[in-house]
Homo-oligomer: A and B are copies of this chain.
Amino acid sequence: MTTTLKDIAKQLKTSVSTVSRALQNHPRISAEKTKKIQDLARELDYQPNSFAINLKKKTSKTLGVIVPELSLHFFSEILSGMDETAHRNGYQLLICQSGEKVEREKEQIQNLYKANVDGILVAVSKETSNFGNFDLLRKKGFPVVLFSRTHPNFPSVHSDDINGGFLATKHLIQQGCKTIAHIAGPWHLYATKDRQNGYLKALETYHLPINQSLIIHSDLEKESNIEAVHQLLNREQNFDAIFCFNDYVAYDIIQVLKEKQIITGKDVLIVGFGNQPISTQMEPKLTSVDQQPYQIGIKSIEMILNSINSKIETSIKQTEILETMLIVRNSTYH
Binding site for B on A (CB under 8 A): 47-52, 54-55, 58, 60, 62, 69-73, 76-77, 79-80, 83-84, 87, 92-97, 111-116, 251, 277-278, 281-283
Q: Are A52 and B55 in contact (CB under 8 A)?
A: yes
Distance in angstroms from A141 CB to nearest chain B CB is 11
Q: Are A51 and B60 in contact (CB under 8 A)?
A: yes
> What is the total number of copies of this protein in its complex?
2
Chain B residues with Cβ below 8 Å from A60 are 51
CA A112 to CA B93, docked complex, whole Å? 11
**Chain B residue with Cβ nearest A82:** B70
Q: Are B97 and A111 in contact (CB under 8 A)?
A: no
**Chain B residue with Cβ nearest A97:** B83
Q: Which of A48, A50, A251, A278 has the most CB of B within 10 A?
A: A50
Chain B residues with Cβ below 8 Å from A71 are 73, 76-77, 79-80
Q: Are A93 and B95 in contact (CB under 8 A)?
A: yes
CA A69 to CA B80, docked complex, whole Å? 7
Chain B residues with Cβ below 8 Å from A278 are 277-278, 281
CA A76 to CA B68, docked complex, whole Å? 13
Q: Which of B70, B114, B281 contacts A47, CB < 8 Å?
A: B114
CA A300 to CA B115, docked complex, whole Å? 23
**Chain B residue with Cβ nearest A52:** B55
**Chain B residue with Cβ nearest A104:** B87
Chain B residues with Cβ below 8 Å from A72 are 76
**Chain B residue with Cβ nearest A251:** B281
Distance in angstroms from A107 CB to nearest chain B CB is 8
Q: List the 8 shortest-distance A-B pairs measured between CB atoms, nearest first.
A: A283-B283, A51-B55, A76-B76, A51-B54, A70-B80, A71-B77, A71-B76, A95-B95
Distance in angstroms from A167 CB to nearest chain B CB is 24
Q: Are B114 and A50 in contact (CB under 8 A)?
A: yes
